[in-house]
Chain A
Amino acid sequence: MAKRIVVDPMTRIEGHLRVDCEVDGGKVVKAWSSGQMWRGIELILEGRDPRDAWIITQRICGVCTTVHAITSVRAVENALNMEVPLNAQYIRNMIITAHGVHDHIVHFYQLSALDWVDIVSALQADPAKAAQIAQSLSDWPLNNVTVFKEVQAKLQSFVNTGQLGVFASGYWGHPAMKLPPEINLIAVAHYFQALDYQRTANKIVSVLGSKTPHIQNLAVGGVANPINLDSQSTLTLERLAYIRSIIDELGDFVRKVYMVDVAAIGAMYADWTQYGAGVTNYLSVPDLPLDTKGTQFALPGGYIQNADLSTFQPISSYQDAFFENGVKESVKHAWYQGGKGALHPYDGETIPQYTDFQDDGKYSWVKAPTFNDKRAQVGPLANVLAMAAAGHEPTTRNLQTVLDMAGAVAGAQIPVAALHSTIGRHAARAVRTAVLHEALEKQWVLLMENIGKGDYDTYNKPEFPKGEIRGFGYHEAPRGVLSHWTVIRDGKIANYQAVVPSTWNAGPRDEADEAGPYEASLLDNPVAEPEKPLEVIRTIHSFDPCLACAIHMVDTEQKEITRVQGVGAQCGVKF
């Protein structure tokens, strides 16, 4: 009998996401992805001053504050056809890259490593053997027997206090856990170290953005960081030197730890290159503008069809009609009034029409976006494939490094095609982190050089005309393409739509009833124990949904039969 699994994450941050799977013969045969909360937060923006939109949009999501702020100012600047001073571009670019590095490290170690790493098994490891293995993979100085012994002792004392329950969601001893104890111990050690390095990356955001989690330094037309190399309250040489020292520290962790771990763990779970591909049309956008108009970028982006890199079509500027005209959203399977077919975001409507969860009808509050009428996957994998297709040297080099390292562990050559998978999304995220880190170093140099030329400009004042203007802004955010679309009438916002990465990936079936990326990626996923659908969690987590999960087990005959906690849903902390 087919069983139904309901994955129902519980956060309001991005709107609850629920994933239903029908499991038959140990495999997922059908899947639905459903957003469980209507936000309509865009409606708050109507009638407001476009210069304030970024302050409000950075409250849409708790994980992606910075990215909504950046995208919002870009949308308004685009509507005004404004140029942004070079210093402002570089400062924004540094915030973007540092935030991305932070976010990707946290995602791998803190939010998804426990899908693959059995921390209880690490207690059985031989620290000397772990050190030997770790040193064979990387010359990271903390890969030594002393550190591994300390970590094991710390873990043991944590387990002894009976607090393992805080990770009640961890699937210790699950049959899908395959790593030897020593690899688990190495991973736990790096999990601890990652907590320090994600914090290091976040410091760059807080120094430049003047505050986290909500940055304060943006403005339509530039940034509000006055550059005065002598004044204490502005961006000084001392602060810039401090940032430089942080950038260097981060690089070692990314290259000697994160990339190595992803390659090694990926190689040991090589079967997971067979699952989770899903939608293989990939959309990403270029980012890190290098000129005032947004026509040259440090990182390329574009569109790839059917997993074929030779079909790559670049998106080349903030005015690019290929992107602007390609995006539509369907509400055929979403709880909104429809009947007009898929609509462009400028014409987007958000009129709720709730039905029950109807498997073949409407079942989600998330709209289904398409690019040129096709479903597209977004995220680091989409971006890395686009950058590789564009011949972006730092990407091809770092990608080859990860594939070679994984190949060495697996004892076989690993092709680029292995990336179209659950584990491939993790590998691509590590590659992108390395690329972002190199870009961060370069943006720092560009900023210093530009200041050195005597250019201290950080802001152009926006002027709003009478009548109607419209514009869009995009950003290659940690979870993929984020775009904001705005119509401004007489200096006030008349329409505002945010098409977020999770909408692209988590959207329901579209106008043509085609499944979205989450839904398609789950098909044929194995499920060893329906009460503990770790495999479903692995694939959904590989997209980096900014959601924690709780799992309901539903039997199609008996309704809900059991309820277990998903990875990330942790409780029972004692103080």
Chain B
Amino acid sequence: MDVAINMTDTETARAPMLVLGLGNILLQDEGVGIAVIERLQRRYRVSDEVELLDGGTSGMSLLDDIRSREHLVVVDAVRTGKPAGTEVVLTGDEVPAFLCNKVSPHQLALSDVLANLALMSESPHQVTVIGMEPLSLETHLGLSKLVASRLQSLTDRVIEQIAAAGYQVEPLDREAWNNNLSLMTEA
């Protein structure tokens, strides 16, 4: 197996914006946040000032990735009681409420991280949560048809956030798509 590995640079400059996909890809629509990250990585050219990260279901190990960012955009499956496939965008004061009301399966891990950052005075300056109501959380690799059909729309919401912050995102021509990614969410 020949795998070209791009080693992480030992000291890279940090991008001011982090787009963080959270979720478990083994639980169907739970992985929608990861699917958005993979789509952005595969089909778009995103400014160097924006880092795209598949955070999985990690907690404290994301601390360093999140600290002191200008913008943190969390992409995740969220449950607010609205119909499956509904897009949810939370900003400002809605975010802590989101974390407290446990509408996301990962909110505890993420709130641990954010609490520690607050104590260290290294909170991200602006936090936005972009989510979608899941249809199915069954044990299965791959999104439900409904959520898969709305993945592009959810990705567009994230792109709007990136653009609103003043950073570039350009769609790639189909020939230029990066097919070297694991692409488990689109398999």
A residues sitting closer than 8 Å to B (CB atoms) are: 10-13, 39-41, 43-44, 51, 55-56, 59-63, 65, 102, 106, 110-111, 154-155, 158, 163, 166-167, 192, 195, 198-199, 202-203, 206-207, 210-214, 216-217, 219, 221, 224-226, 233-235, 238-239, 242, 459, 461, 548, 568-575
Does B164 reach chain A (CB closer than 8 Å)? no
Does B118 reach chain A (CB closer than 8 Å)? yes
CB B86 to nearest CB in A, in angstroms, measures 21
Complex contacts, A44 vs chain B, CB 8 Å:
26, 139-141
Does B13 reach chain A (CB closer than 8 Å)? no
- Known A55-B182, A199-B64; judge A234-B5 contact (CB<8 A): yes
Q: In chain B between 67 and 100, which residues have their CB closer than 8 angstroms to a CB of chain A?
A: 92, 95-96, 99-100
Q: How far is the CA of A56 from the CA of B11 in the complex (A)?
A: 29
Task: With a 10 A CB-CB cut-off, give which of B54, B59, B92 has the most chain A CB atoms.
Answer: B59
CB B140 to nearest CB in A, in angstroms, measures 7
The residue in chain B whose Cβ has the minimal distance to the Cβ of A226 is B5
| Sample of 18 A–B contacts (CB below 8 Å) | A13-B57, A55-B182, A61-B57, A65-B56, A65-B58, A166-B118, A199-B63, A214-B56, A217-B5, A226-B5, A239-B7, A461-B1, A548-B109, A568-B108, A571-B100, A572-B100, A573-B111, A575-B123
- Known A40-B139, A210-B6; judge A573-B56 contact (CB<8 A): no
Complex contacts, B107 vs chain A, CB 8 Å:
571
Docked-complex contact A573 and B10, CB < 8 angstroms: no
The residue in chain A whose Cβ has the minimal distance to the Cβ of B127 is A575
Q: In chain B between 114 and 144, which residues have their CB closer than 8 angstroms to a CB of chain A?
A: 114-116, 118-121, 123-127, 139-141
CB B62 to nearest CB in A, in angstroms, measures 7
Docked-complex contact A570 and B58, CB < 8 angstroms: no
Q: How far is the CA of A97 from the CA of B55 in the complex (A)?
A: 22
Docked-complex contact A106 and B60, CB < 8 angstroms: yes
Complex contacts, B102 vs chain A, CB 8 Å:
10
Docked-complex contact A110 and B112, CB < 8 angstroms: yes
Complex contacts, B59 vs chain A, CB 8 Å:
13, 62-63
The residue in chain A whose Cβ has the minimal distance to the Cβ of B184 is A55
Q: State the 5 A-B residue pairs at the shortest beta-carbon distance, nearest first.
A: A62-B57, A571-B100, A166-B115, A224-B3, A213-B58
Docked-complex contact A195 and B120, CB < 8 angstroms: yes
Docked-complex contact B6 and A233, CB < 8 angstroms: yes
Docked-complex contact A572 and B96, CB < 8 angstroms: yes
Docked-complex contact B106 and A548, CB < 8 angstroms: no
Q: How far is the CA of A11 from the CA of B111 in the complex (A)?
A: 12
Q: How far is the CA of A44 from the CA of B82 in the complex (A)?
A: 29
Docked-complex contact A214 and B54, CB < 8 angstroms: yes
Complex contacts, B54 vs chain A, CB 8 Å:
214
Does B179 reach chain A (CB closer than 8 Å)? no
Our pick among B109, B114, B139 for the contact of A39 (Cβ within 8 Å) is B139
Complex contacts, B155 vs chain A, CB 8 Å:
none
Complex contacts, A102 vs chain B, CB 8 Å:
61
Complex contacts, A202 vs chain B, CB 8 Å:
61, 64
